[in-house]
């Protein structure tokens, strides 16, 4: 079974969209999206520096646009025939497009609202996120809670992301949980998936009320609990709530395993989720779309999957 996944915030790098815009029709498509949401995705994806694309209100629409664009370059979704789709954090919006829950235009309008609302929430208090590498999950979670931090992303494969105030994160750097090898600050602008994002939930709920989601045409695996969601309305409700609740990517990967995953392809800017899959899903073939040079290898994997 093939699983198609979309990465979350922090996967973006300066200029990563440049080679994708050389594909036929891609530049015009992204320019039209830019006009529709009032954000120059072409500029931010090709010319902006790391600090500019770290801005939550920029990074999130940029990632969703890149994911949609790179998946479209693989082929139409029925022909790709994934057995399931999922995304990490903002990547869930990209996955909602793959599953047919939201149109491209609706997803980009929604993620633009999400990015702006989360940036506003992040501006209230200085917050951030740090990745813990190694250690026992239960021990690490208990330690984070003692420091007042939230285990915002439980990613599996020995990785948990802590989120909270800068002071709390500084305390974590000085006092790591037992067994944790390293604490790595992430290039994000706030404590996402925590109570600090609560102000964004109301804004997103209002934006969601204007959308008409379809039921998923492909099994859609949710970050909330790692389970497939059958209703478009429930997908949208979960997209609203997830900004202030932890991401359980570990449970998503458990579901991939239960469903019989044999191949996992991560759309642009790929790398993070395939890295986790290599450690947590041994024997599963993985491929990350970084540039259009990866498309032929991805299509070959898809052909093998379809013909199997």
Q: How many domains does the chain have?
A: 2
> Within this chain, do residues 136 and 64 fall inside the same structural domain, yes or no?
no
| CATH code, 52 | 3.40.366.10
- pLDDT digit string, tens, across residues 21-49: 999 999 999 999 999 999 999 999 999 99
Choosing from 34, 57, 70, 89, which is the catalytic residue? 89
> To which residue do tokens 């994997």 refer?
301
Of the chain, the percentage scoring pLDDT greater than 90 comes to: 92
Active site residue 89: yes
The HSE-up count of residue 21 (CA atoms within 13 Å, CB side) is 18
Specify the DSSP class assigned to residue 262: -
Q: Please give the sequence-ordered ranges of beta strands (E in DSSP) within the chain, or none if there are none.
A: 2-6, 84-87, 127-134, 150-156, 159-165, 180-185, 220-221, 228-229, 263-266, 285-288
> Within this chain, do residues 138 and 279 fall inside the same structural domain, yes or no?
no
- Contact criterion met (CB below 8 Å) for 30 and 293: no
Distances (CA, A) of 104 to 58, 95, 236: 17, 11, 15
Q: Name the phi and psi angles at 208, rounded to 5.
A: -65, -30
Q: Indicate the average pLDDT of the chain.
A: 95
> Within this chain, do residues 41 and 76 fall inside the same structural domain, yes or no?
yes
| CATH code, 138 | 3.30.70.250
The whole-angstrom separation of Cα 217 and Cα 209 is 21
Residue 307 has pLDDT above 60, yes or no: no
Choosing from 88, 143, 193, 305, which is the catalytic residue? 193
Q: Name the phi and psi angles at 186, rounded to 5.
A: -100, 155
Mean pLDDT in residue range 188-203: 93
> Within this chain, do residues 41 and 106 fall inside the same structural domain, yes or no?
yes
Show the domain range for 25.
2-122+194-307
In sequence order, which residues have a C-beta less than 8 Å from that of residue 115 and are 6 or more positions away?
56, 57, 58, 59, 60, 61, 90
Banded model confidence at residue 306, pLDDT cuts 50, 70, 90: low
- pLDDT digit string, tens, across residues 69-91: 999 999 877 678 899 999 999 99
The whole-angstrom separation of Cα 26 and Cα 18 is 10
- pLDDT digit string, tens, across residues 250-300: 999 999 999 999 999 999 999 999 999 999 999 999 999 999 999 999 999
> Within this chain, do residues 110 and 220 fall inside the same structural domain, yes or no?
yes
> Within this chain, do residues 77 and 214 fall inside the same structural domain, yes or no?
yes
């Amino acid at each position: 079974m093939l699983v198609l996944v979309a990465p979350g915030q922090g996967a973006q790098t300066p200029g990563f969209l440049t080679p994708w815009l050389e594909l036929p029709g891609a530049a015009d498509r992204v320019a039209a999206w830019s006009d529709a949401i009032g954000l120059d995705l072409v500029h931010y994806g090709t010319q902006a520096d790391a600090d500019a694309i770290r801005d939550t209100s920029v990074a999130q629409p940029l990632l969703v646009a890149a994911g949609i664009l790179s998946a479209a370059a693989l082929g139409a979704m029925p022909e790709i025939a994934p057995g399931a789709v999922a995304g990490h954090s903002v990547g869930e919006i990209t996955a909602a497009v793959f599953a047919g829950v939201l149109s491209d235009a609706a997803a980009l309008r929604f993620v633009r609202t999400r990015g702006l609302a989360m940036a506003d929430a992040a501006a209230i208090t200085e917050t951030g996120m740090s990745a813990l590498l190694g250690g026992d999950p239960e021990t690490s979670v208990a330690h984070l809670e003692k420091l007042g931090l939230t285990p915002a992303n439980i990613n599996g494969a020995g990785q948990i992301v802590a989120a909270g105030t800068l002071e709390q994160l500084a305390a974590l750097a000085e006092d790591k949980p037992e067994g944790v090898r390293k604490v790595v600050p992430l290039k994000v602008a706030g404590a996402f998936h925590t109570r600090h994002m609560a102000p964004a939930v109301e804004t997103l709920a209002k934006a969601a009320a204007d959308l008409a989601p379809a039921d998923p045409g492909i099994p859609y695996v949710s970050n909330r609990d790692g389970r497939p969601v059958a209703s478009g309305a429930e997908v949208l409700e979960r997209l609203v709530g997830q900004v202030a609740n932890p991401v359980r990517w570990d449970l998503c990967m458990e579901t991939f395993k239960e469903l019989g995953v044999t191949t996992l392809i991560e759309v642009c800017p790929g790398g993070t989720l395939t890295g986790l899959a290599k450690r947590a899903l041994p024997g599963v073939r993985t491929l990350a779309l970084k540039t259009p040079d990866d498309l032929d290898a991805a299509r070959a994997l898809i052909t093998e999957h379809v013909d199997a």
